Structure 1
Amino acid sequence: MPKQRKTSKSPEHPDSPWDSLDFSAAPDTPPRESLNLADHFLIAMPSMLDPVFGGTVVYLCEHNANGALGVIINKATDMTVDVLLNRIDLTLEIAPELSMLDRAPVLYGGPVQADRGFVLHAPRGDFSSTLPVTEEISLTTSKDILAAVALGSGPQRLLVSLGCAGWGAGQLEDEITRNGWLTVRADPAVLFDLPLEQRFVAAIKLLGIDPMMLSGEAGHA
């Protein structure tokens, strides 16, 4: 089972999925020689028969000797962002024609903490519970980011999900060794700009592989 991070309840909305995760409780940075696939895509291989992860692309936000944390980026829920905002008592203040958020799907980010919200976004911004991934991309779990989005002052590029994907120490490495995943450095255009149904093929093409030729053999770049 993946390790759960410490969370804190929001006193204003005790049942809100936007309760903050305490990223400050994360373990210290591992030794330099440890494998680090943060800011990489995990692309499910044909051998990945898991009903949750089959056919998915996962963006890895954190990976070290203690485990890994990521978000599935090509699996939608039946909820749109405007519905989610309404459920947490926020209203999109900007004109609909200035934003696609009212029609954007909320993604299924993974089976870990599936009742909590996660936002991948660029630029990083300054929010109360944020895990920096790169100089431009962060993962935020506090509600203040959606309050900013509703007011039109939030990040220009973002992906909203419920739940995340997590692996314990050595678990992801074992799955890669067993031909479960291809790995490749992430492309922000695939992460934020492409329609969900195009992301799997686009991620594979980052490896220079014809998706029609994909087999069960492992590999990474």
Structure 2
Amino acid sequence: MSLPDHAYAAVSSSSPLRVKICGVVNLAAANAARRAGADWIGLNFSPPSPRALDPPESAAEIVAALGHERVVGLFVNRPVPEIAAFAQRVGLRLIQLHGDETPKEAQLLASAGLQVIKAFRIGDAEAIAQARRWLDQAHALTQGQVPFACLFDAFVPGRFGGTGATLAASLLEGLRPMMASSALRPILAGGLTPENLAERLELCPARPWMVDVAGGVESAPGVKDPTRMAAFVAAARRFAASRFE
């Protein structure tokens, strides 16, 4: 399964380092993120998060305004039929699984016409091994078509992202084979900010396909700051221009 042709314009940015701004809570913030230069906008549908979209159905106007090729819906341990039905209702095509979802669940979502991004919360070497096993199983089930991309976040007990924690350099090194795989479209997350992005990328043993930020571009939990969003995108573009081109 592959993205429709018109979707590649958004994911194939002219920069070799793409940017996703996650945890956008309304249309105004989504438009500000787009103006800042974000390639993808993330909508959070995990209610405990201060960045959860409320009401969830307001996702429809954001998808309509930005286009489904730019908007990612983030879910944590929700039933497959619920995700698929909701995505169809609001027009989502890109789905990020940020919990303990199985390769089989990802396959079922892909079979429903969705592009699946799988997030892995990495806290130790065993978590890296588990991520490899998950990917091996998903590839076997789907002939390598799932996931469309994979995201690497820092593990914090009892939390599913948005913690501000960063990945240790030793763990980044352990992720080298996956981070170096263009087929996996690796996304680097975990405590990124405009101020530390270049430093975090220097520690990365291979070039990520995309960087993902949520709290690092906020003035308060859930409140996106247009100036910080623009600064983050500029930092990503600047680093890419100096290292990747």
Task: Settle same-fold status: TM greater than 0.5.
Answer: no
Q: Relative contact order, CA 8 A, sep 6+: which one is greater?
A: 1
TM-score (norm 1): 0.27
Q: Computing the radius of gyration over CA atoms, which structure comes out larger, 1 or 2?
A: 1
Higher strand share: 1
